[in-house]
Amino acid sequence: MKKILLIVAVSLIGVAASAQKFAYVNFNELVQLMPESDQARAVMQESQKNAQESYQEMMNEFQDKYSKYQQNVNSYTPATRKTKEDELTQIQQRIQEFSQNVEQELQEQQQKLMEPIYKKAQEKMNEIAKAGGYVFVFDRGSVLYIDETQSTDITPECRKALGIPADRTMEALQAELAAKAQVQAQAQ
């Protein structure tokens, strides 16, 4: 009797498992190609540019004062030399503190900008998955193997729901970002 119940239970589990629908999505692609990500990248680029300019100004100040110090070191009295050395040390410390703080602030800003973008993508993906009756949706980027014959790619539906143009690809985005970086490098 127990063997019969076990066989029936295993059979029911097999039937139930075969009736489940699975899907996968390229979540990273969705997030990176969303129009909101373009806006976030522009804000981050401007913030990084401003931080780099501030850093460069502090470095220029240090270099100028260090040059003057080296040129005049032999004519300084011991008290003046100590004052100038202390001033240079303070500038170095400010530069170091600025570098550490700005790096942390930029990371926090990026997280703050990207959080609503991830949330929107997740919500749209959840809506599409529920509407399609999918039990599981796997992220294509974190799964080692997907049998595409037994699962559905919902990335195109999600792209449409998120307002991502059909002709926009990761390759096009990478080319666009590389071109912007090249223009920016030539401007400097």
Q: Quick check: 12 pLDDT over 80?
A: no
Write out the E strands in 15-166.
Answer: 22-25, 136-139, 152-153
Q: Give a yes or no: residue 147 inside a domain.
A: yes
Within a 10 A sphere around the Cβ of 33, how many other Cβ atoms?
21
9 part of a folded domain: no
Q: How far is CA 123 from CA 65, 72, 111, 156, 173, in A?
A: 55, 65, 18, 15, 23
Is 5 within a domain? no
| Residue 8 covered by a domain | no
CATH classification of the domain holding 77: 3.30.910.20
Q: What is the pLDDT of residues 52-102, one digit of tens each?
A: 999 999 999 999 999 999 999 999 999 999 999 999 999 999 999 999 999
Structural domain count of the chain: 1
Judge contact between 138 and 146, C-beta under 8 A: yes
Structural domain span for residue 157: 14-187
